Structure 1
Amino acid sequence: MTAKIEVTTPRAIVTGGTRGTGAAVARRLRASGMDVTVIARTPGDGDAENGAVRFVPADLTDPDAAAEAARRVLALGAPDVLVHVAGGSGSPAGGFAALGEAEWARELDLNLLSAVRLDRALVPAMIEAGRGTIIHVASIQARMPLWDGTLAYAAAKAALRTYSKGLAGQLAAHGIRVNSVSPGGIQTEAADRLVERLTERFDGDGDAAWDSLVAALGGVPLGRFATPEEIADVIAFLASDTAASILGADIVVDGGTVRTT
């Protein structure tokens, strides 16, 4: 008699998964057949509210909240896929002089340490399971920082990319693949808010602010920013068995903005 093979649904965790790119990632992984849990400060519209995905409320910049979120996740078992999308910038324009201790701490906490905290809590279970995929969403600003509007954010994302590369080397022997994705401009509300902040420096001229953003990036040869769904498709590929030999990579999705890597 042939033994019955138990088939389990892959479990995915997406941070920042209720809005923008994070929500698109959660939808895409759910569509691929995964059991998805999103971790975010607040619920958003759509899947996280109608029950298609599981929602765990947490502010990952708070170590205690991150630990509690990890405890709730691990109660269901080790995750198979962990995607860190949570991030963003709320600092004022003006470069280094506009950034005090509070701004630097906030940007580092959100864009670097929130991922580090959750990895530290969840990776031991993934090691014990002998499998898993971790994807950190960085930014092309790790390579070409916009000093005026997002200097601290860029520095934090550069650190996240380096951390991701180092973690990939450490975890490879345990059957865990770690990669990062570095988007350029994405058509999200966060991009709109950045333009709004820059608009203040152009006396309320939103078009000039937008042009300055594109110019600071060195242009976008594709002629447009990527959609959240396009970023989600790349992440879904990295999370799939099709990408089984991709490890320690940083995949740039920027419409051609970065000419060399």
Structure 2
Amino acid sequence: MTSHGRSLVPSVGELEGKRAVVTGGSRGIGAAIVRNLLDAGATVVTSARKPDEGTPSGVTFVKADLSTSDGVREFADAALETLGGVDIVVNNAGGCRSFHSVLDLEKDWQYTMDINFLAAVRLNAALVPSLRESGGGAVLHVSSIATIAAYPILYHYAAAKAALETYSKGLAAELATDGIRVLSLCLGNVETPASKIARGQAVEYFGGVADPAGLEALAGKWAAEIPLGRLGAAEDIAEAVGFLVSPRASWITGSNIVIDGGKTAGLS
């Protein structure tokens, strides 16, 4: 089956010759995205504060702290030097250091904004000229359903991700005439090393003990709240990213796509 002469069936090598930059690609969702892009034929450069055993082989790893403007600039320079240009940018790096009451957010506010929002703004500013030179491409931002359902103790994270989604729509409108597509993914509960740490922090914040039984109980509670009956897997997200940055998604831009197993279905 084809549309305007393009195959709608994914194939190995469909990103052959494409140059991709993925932030936070040493483990979890980021590592799965990197593997997907590599399998599709892309050349990939990724970053994290430190390498991890989950960092996929075949990727060029750059140690970088993207919560700082200097770190973003150094990573962008290294990526462009390695790749010679860029066609795909996936802003996946994010997170928060700890949970807080809404009345006690200022402690980690700046860091949370820097890593979840400003890192993407700064990296895009550095890489969009190369995307324009390439004649188009795709920019994808990884967000969270925390922007839809206001989770207690995650308001600082949710606010940063909400800013990212609004920025993403504006960037899509600005870059459309350049043939550059911009999207955001609004993710639900995905099972990753970071999510396991977050479960422990949540249990302790509410006065519990982060032992195996407590963590398993919380994971079960989260899964039970999802209509499809399970937590997401990193590969679920990577498959979506692989499609969205490919030519098969050439008429999709400016969208914020929710991938959460149906958890926020019906919520406004």
TM score, norm. by length of structure 2: 0.86
The question of 1:163 aligning with 2:167 is answered: yes
Picking from 100, 105, 111, the partner of 2:110 is 105
Distance 2:208 2:53 in 1: 34
1:123-142 to 2 correspondences below 5 Å: 123-142=128-147
Q: Deviations over 1:106-128 (max 9, x none)?
A: 11011001111100111112123
Q: Deviations over 1:17-43 (max 9, x none)?
A: 001100000001000110111121111
Residues 195 and 213, structure 1, Cα contact 8 Å, conserved in 2: no
Give the Å deviation of 1:46: 4.6
Distance 1:99 1:83 in 2: 28
Partner letter of residue 36 of structure 1? Answer: V
Q: Deviations over 1:164-200 (max 9, x none)?
A: 1110000000010001111100001211111111212
Distance 1:36 1:114 in 2: 19
Residues 138 and 245, structure 2, Cα contact 8 Å, conserved in 1: yes
1:80-95 to 2 correspondences below 5 Å: 80-93=87-100, 95=101
Shift in CA distance, 213/77, structure 1 to aligned 2, threshold 3 Å: farther
**Which residue of structure 2 lines up, in the alignment, with residue 214 of structure 1?**
222
Give the Å deviation of 1:47: 4.7
**Which residue of structure 1 lines up, in the alignment, with residue 176 of structure 2?**
172
Shift in CA distance, 86/211, structure 1 to aligned 2, threshold 3 Å: closer
Shift in CA distance, 221/145, structure 1 to aligned 2, threshold 3 Å: same
Picking from 171, 184, 191, the partner of 1:187 is 191
Distance 1:117 1:209 in 2: 39
Q: Which moved more, 1:62-71 or 1:25-34?
A: 62-71
**Which residue of structure 2 lines up, in the alignment, with residue 4 of structure 1?**
none
Distance 1:117 1:134 in 2: 13
Local SS of the residue matching 1:45: coil
Any stretches of 5+ residues in structure 1 without a counterpart? Answer: 1-6
**Which residue of structure 1 lines up, in the alignment, with residue 31 of structure 2?**
23
Distance 2:118 2:73 in 1: 13
Paired positions, count = 248
Distance 1:147 1:111 in 2: 18
The question of 1:243 aligning with 2:249 is answered: yes
Give the Å deviation of 1:129: 2.5
Give the Å deviation of 1:210: 1.5
**Which residue of structure 1 lines up, in the alignment, with residue 126 of structure 2?**
121
Q: Deviations over 1:121-152 (max 9, x none)?
A: 1111212322110000011111112122x111
Partner letter of residue 128 of structure 2? Answer: V
The question of 1:71 aligning with 2:82 is answered: no
Local SS of the residue matching 1:138: strand
Give the Å deviation of 1:207: 5.4
Residues 198 and 209, structure 1, Cα contact 8 Å, conserved in 2: no
Shift in CA distance, 225/208, structure 1 to aligned 2, threshold 3 Å: closer
The question of 1:145 aligning with 2:153 is answered: no
Shift in CA distance, 208/17, structure 1 to aligned 2, threshold 3 Å: closer
Local SS of the residue matching 2:232: coil
Residues 202 and 208, structure 1, Cα contact 8 Å, conserved in 2: no
Residues 25 and 55, structure 2, Cα contact 8 Å, conserved in 1: no
Give the Å deviation of 1:69: 1.1
Distance 1:46 1:192 in 2: 15
**Which residue of structure 1 lines up, in the alignment, with residue 102 of structure 2?**
96
Residues 91 and 99, structure 1, Cα contact 8 Å, conserved in 2: no
